[in-house]
């Protein structure tokens, strides 16, 4: 068995079967679909993709996200169906968590909204996912939850309306850096080709995804560049966003989406870190690696975070200065271990 086959086997062990998931989707009538706080393209795209497929089957579906719909994804057909959690729990049979590594990341309001559900289904691609659902389908070898849903929907013969096709494309495109990250496979391109044949307008959807940013995002970039630091050996780069800057620029959470790739792309940099001050004194840490030996998921796990080998995150207590010292020290230890050939 190859390393890839072994990883796939491990990631799918203890999973529900495709047939079991199909039975859940067919035999129940009412669903609430959830995704993580501060949702990205894979989170919202996955909700819309599965949601509209279920609606095409005649199911009753609510699409709930703790923070609602990001402005940058409002172009997606059907995105107006994304709602913030209602005050009272929803009368639904099944709750489906999508692209969410741990249950608390769904948010307190979303969890309350789904609290009447009798069945919890957990579909995700994060290697750190502890399988918190009654039924779980976790494939950490998949580049995006959107691709997992494409496989499930097509294997189960579920409908693929236009809203689902567009949403899957955006989900996978955004989580693979527009099909550039190492997680992208031939299967990913085959999926994209099939979606294109089904009517996805690649030029239009890519333009709306990547070439339509508000001016404040450029102001944010300028502020971040003023905080940029690089290690003496050039392997590590990091920058930071203070809460006051967020207030001064009237930033939205999605404005910083993908900006870490700017410093990740610096020649010689193998690991990039983005530190953000959040309301309430919490610190959000985003990490990206170019080298699987610099496994940022393992570093994140040291602080209660998680993710993937090449992309992971942490939420930890502040202040920012103390969080930076702790995280950068852990990263430096890992870099030194790799340099010494200890891994």
Question: Which one of 178, 210, 242 terminates a domain?
Answer: 210
Same domain, residue pair 13 and 129 = yes
CB proximity list for 82: less than 8 A, separation 6 or greater: 44, 47, 48, 63, 64, 65, 68, 69
Percent of the chain's residues with pLDDT above 70: 96
Give the domain extent around 34. 3-210
Residue 336 has pLDDT above 70, yes or no: yes
Whether 56 and 103 share a structural domain:
yes
Query: Both 144 and 32 in a single domain?
Result: yes
157 vs 11: which has the higher pLDDT: 157
Q: How confident is residue 1, by pLDDT bands cut at 50, 70 and 90?
A: very low
The answer, yes or no, to whether residue 6 has pLDDT greater than 80, is no
CATH number at residue 296: 3.10.310.30
Residues 282 and 146 in one domain: no
How confident is the model at residue 120, as a pLDDT?
98
Q: How confident is the model at residue 14 (pLDDT cuts 50, 70, 90)?
A: confident
Domain final residue, candidates 210, 232, 265: 210
CA distance 60 to 196: 28
Q: Judge if 139 and 79 occupy the same domain.
A: yes
Same domain, 181 and 221: no
| 122 and 38 belong to one structural domain | yes
Say if residue 243 is in the same domain as residue 279.
Answer: yes
What predicted TM-score, i.e. pTM, was given to this entire model? 0.89
Which pLDDT does position 343 carry in this prediction? Answer: 64
Q: Each residue of 277-307: pLDDT tens digit?
A: 998 889 999 999 999 999 999 999 999 999 9
Q: Can you point out the beta strands (E) in the chain?
A: 30-35, 60-65, 82-83, 94-98, 119-124, 135-138, 229-230, 236-241, 271-277, 282-289, 306-307, 311-317
Q: How many domains does the chain have?
A: 2
The tens digit of pLDDT for each residue in 170-220 reads 999 999 999 998 999 999 999 999 999 999 999 999 999 999 999 999 999
333 vs 8: which has the higher pLDDT? 333
> Quick one: 186 and 237 in the same domain?
no
Domain harbouring 131, CATH code:
3.90.1640.10
3-state helix, strand, coil in the chain (%, to 5): 45, 20, 40
* Same domain as 286, residue 202: no
% of the chain with per-residue pLDDT over 90? 92
pLDDT tens readout for residues 29-64: 999 999 999 999 999 999 999 999 999 999 999 999
Give the domain-ending residue among 190, 210, 230.
Answer: 210
116 and 229 co-located in one domain? no
Residue 13 has pLDDT above 70, yes or no: no
Do 57 and 130 reside in the same domain of the chain? Answer: yes
């Amino acid at each position: 068995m190859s390393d890839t086959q072994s990883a796939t086997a491990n990631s799918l062990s203890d999973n529900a079967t495709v047939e079991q998931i199909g039975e859940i989707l067919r035999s129940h009538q009412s669903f609430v679909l959830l995704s993580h706080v501060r949702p990205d393209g894979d989170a919202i795209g996955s909700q819309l993709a599965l949601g509209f497929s279920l609606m095409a089957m005649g199911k009753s579906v609510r699409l709930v996200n703790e923070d609602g719909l990001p402005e940058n994804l409002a172009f997606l057909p059907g995105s107006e169906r994304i709602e913030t959690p209602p005050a009272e729990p929803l009368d639904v049979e099944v709750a489906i968590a999508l692209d969410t590594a741990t249950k608390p990341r769904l948010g307190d309001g979303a969890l309350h909204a789904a609290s009447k559900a009798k069945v919890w289904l957990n579909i995700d691609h994060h290697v750190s996912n502890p399988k918190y659902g009654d039924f779980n389908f976790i494939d950490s070898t998949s580049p995006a939850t959107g691709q997992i849903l494409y496989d499930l929907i097509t294997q189960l013969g579920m409908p693929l309306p236009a809203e689902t096709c567009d949403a899957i494309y955006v989900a996978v495109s955004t989580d693979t850096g527009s099909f550039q990250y190492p997680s992208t496979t031939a299967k990913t391109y085959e999926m994209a080709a099939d979606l294109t044949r089904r009517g996805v307008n690649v030029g239009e959807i890519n333009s709306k995804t990547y070439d339509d940013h508000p001016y404040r995002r450029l102001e944010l970039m300028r502020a971040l560049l003023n905080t940029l630091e690089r290690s003496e050996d050039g392997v590590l780069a990091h920058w930071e966003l203070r809460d006051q800057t967020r207030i001064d620029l009237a930033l939205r959470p999605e404005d910083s989406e993908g900006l870490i790739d700017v410093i990740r792309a610096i020649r010689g940099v193998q690991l990039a870190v983005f530190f953000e001050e959040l309301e309430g004194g919490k610190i959000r840490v985003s990490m990206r690696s170019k080298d699987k030996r610099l496994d940022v998921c393992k570093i994140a796990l040291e602080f209660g975070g998680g993710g993937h080998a090449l992309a992971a995150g942490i939420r930890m207590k502040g202040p920012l200065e103390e969080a930076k010292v702790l995280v950068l020290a852990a990263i430096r230890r890992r870099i030194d271990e790799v340099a010494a050939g200890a891994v």
